[in-house]
A and B are shown apart, each in its own frame.
Chain A
Amino acid sequence: MYPDDVKYTPQHEWARPHGETVRIGITAYAQEALGDIVYASLPAVGTDVTAGASIGELESTKTWSDVYAPVSGRIVAVNDALDAQPELLNSDPYGDGWIAEVEPAEAGGLDQLLDAEQYRQLVETER
């Protein structure tokens, strides 16, 4: 539920170092809260993003949610598989359901984020 190889935002995104880039997605708690996700609107490759700003939107059968960038930088890859298979966000949020890869604008962005234990405590409070 809270893998410790990723860092977390209070808005329920995760970020994981991936070579020179940072791969990002939404947490298991986020996908459970949304329910079955049917559309993923993702940023275009090359877009500059700012930590905390919306970079896309996920829509489920009954609701929707913005996705916020965990770190600042440039989008260098997006998970095109989500277009045909948005259900990957539900079934494998930390793996095949990743959303995008960001080339960080500066080093150390991940250090600002929550670790697994801090995030777990946040979720327990929200429940």
Chain B
Amino acid sequence: MQCRLSPAEVAGDALASVRMIASAAAAAAGPPLYHSPLYDRHVGLGAKMADFGGWEMPIEYPDGGVLKEHAAVRQAVGIFDVSHLGKGVVRGRGARDFVNATLTNDLARIAPGQAQYTLCCDDATGGVVDDLIAYLRSDDEVFLVPNAANTAGVLRRLTAAAPAGVEVANLHRSLGVLAVQGPRSAEVLERLGLPTGHDYMSFVSSDWGGEQVIVCRSGYTGEHGYELLPHWDSTGRLWDALLAAAAPLGGRPAGLGARDTLRTEMGYPLHGQDLSLDITPVQARSGWAVGWDKPRFWGRDALVAERERGAARLLWGLAALDRGIPRPHMVVTAAAGEQAGEPVGEVTSGTFSPTLRKGIGLALLRRGVEPGAEVRIDVRGRPSTLRVVRPPFVPASTR
């Protein structure tokens, strides 16, 4: 047996499920990896660990595995440690207006106590620096959760642009993040006395045993779920309580391997694969997260122009019609017509869908290749046929 990693995994943003290669890569990379406040607990559970944006995080747990952990989230509940996610705050007089003049989505669409998915784009090119969640606390405070690897970059751009009186602070290691996801997630929180009844994409601050926990109705799985932000030092205690409450409900700890198969079934993009500095929100069909009517946001000129002329390529879903599994960077070719055999795009994410029991993926495809079309990939010498589809692959039940 010789394990091989797909190019995306070699690039390091990976769910490298192969421990020997992950540990070799970690040893070869210079700076030490950051640890979540739950690191000792993961190691104690025997989790397979790997580098996620500079953080050594659990991929899967020994009694679980991607398939079992995925199924627990779809059918019961899974508890994820996502403390590697960045945390930052923009505060001071006019903080909301400042964020609204930089990030793409329109904060006028939400009220204090609500959160929104938004993008930080490069002002010149419109390429995506990061996708993140913005929590609107008040006119003078916006809390941000960027991706681990992009946190410093996003906060640096905001700091450089912030007007006098607006401060940008990095809270990466001040708060933990735990995601409780699945149809029984509310029951888990109820057992801890945490609030559950608020709307999708809204958050409340709650007292849990004398400690503050922010409870947001959000997630990256497509299920009804919550993302909890406790203080760094109380994250372990909260994790223990959540696991104890979830176990009798069929819940289990879930790693970032299952998180990736769950988000791929929803067609949610992952920065570093489906979004990047070379991919714009127009190409990624993320225009719904752009406040087009706003007078200013980073990348506005480039993105408005691209939207008007039409993007040269668009992000669509691929569903295998045979036993092929698309993997990042595979070339997509036309299956029929005049262009048969010609390259029409590239796979950006791909995996086996545990729910559908077949290969699925996301791909940037040349304009004109539309849902319904059949395309091909080469799976290590074997041709595989897939259908272009509009995600999600599995219906979402977030609300």
Contact = CB atoms under 8 A, between A and B. Distances in A.
Give me the 5 closest cross-chain CB pairs, A-B, nearest first.
A12-B1, A35-B17, A62-B17, A61-B66, A30-B1
Contacts of A62: 9, 15-17, 66, 257, 260, 351
Interface residues of B, number: 31
B200 to A, nearest CB: 28
A40 B376 CA distance: 21
Interface stretch (A43-51, A65-73, A100-108, A109-117): A65-73
Interface residues of A, number: 29
Contacts of A68: 1-2
Contact of A34 (B17, B357, B380): B17
Chain B interface SS verdict (over half): mixed
B67 interface: yes
A60 B2 contact: no
B354 interface: yes
Interface of B: 1-6, 9, 15-20, 23, 48, 59-60, 65-68, 257, 260-261, 323, 325, 351-352, 354, 357, 380
B3 A34 contact: yes
Contacts of B5: 63
A33 interface: yes
B60 A35 contact: yes
Nearest to B6: A63
B323 A39 contact: yes
Given A11-B2, A13-B1, A59-B352, A127 B325 contact: no
A25 to B, nearest CB: 10
A35 B66 contact: yes
B352 A38 contact: yes
A36 B260 CA distance: 14
A63 B9 contact: yes
A62 B18 CA distance: 9
Contacts of B59: 35
